[in-house]
């Protein structure tokens, strides 16, 4: 009789250990998937931030060839949505969705005055949210009037 009770206890204990191991494996797999998704989204956000900076560069260059530096300066104020295509990527105020993605993009502009003259600093921000919280990638570019 004594041995049957011990055997039942051993079986229950072994099942408990197996359950703990399975939960640990499932937890590691879920964490691995979350990390993989974050890495993918971070790489895409970096691409969209770079794309935003390049679009602003084209818009600045187009303004310098046609309407002048002051026209670009007038558009490059506060935080603006980067939703258009070059050379008109600056859109409405604030951040805006990138269609078909979980990302939002915008640029915050500030004027910088230094010994070389006036410059405009643009911080392109791409944000997204997931189960781990809100994340963002920033790309900082300083624009100058190369047409002086």
Residue 41: predicted pLDDT: 95
57 in Cβ contact with 141 (< 8 Å): yes
- Spans of the chain, pLDDT less than 50: 1
Residue 25: predicted pLDDT: 92
106 in Cβ contact with 125 (< 8 Å): yes
Give residue-wise pLDDT tens across range 114-131. 766 688 999 999 999 998
Single pTM value for the model: 0.79
Residue 11: predicted pLDDT: 86
Domain spans of the chain, in order of start: 2-144
Q: Give the whole-number percent of the chain exceeding pLDDT 70.
A: 91
Q: Which residue from 127, 145, 128, 124 is spatially nearest to 56, judged by alpha carbons? A: 124
């Amino acid at each position: 009789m004594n041995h049957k009770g011990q055997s039942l206890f051993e079986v229950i204990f072994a099942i408990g250990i197996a359950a703990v191991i399975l939960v640990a494996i499932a937890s590691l797999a879920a964490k691995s998937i979350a990390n993989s998704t974050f890495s993918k989204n971070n790489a895409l956000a970096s691409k969209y931030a770079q794309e935003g900076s390049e679009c602003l560069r084209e818009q600045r260059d187009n303004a310098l060839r046609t309407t002048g530096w002051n026209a670009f300066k007038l558009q490059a104020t506060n935080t603006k949505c980067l939703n258009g295509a070059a050379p008109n990527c600056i859109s409405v105020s604030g951040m805006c969705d990138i269609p078909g993605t979980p990302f939002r993009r915008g640029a915050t502009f500030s004027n910088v005055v230094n010994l070389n003259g006036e410059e405009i600093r643009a911080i392109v921000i791409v944000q997204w949210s997931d189960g781990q919280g809100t994340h963002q990638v920033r790309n900082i570019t300083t624009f100058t009037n190369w047409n002086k």
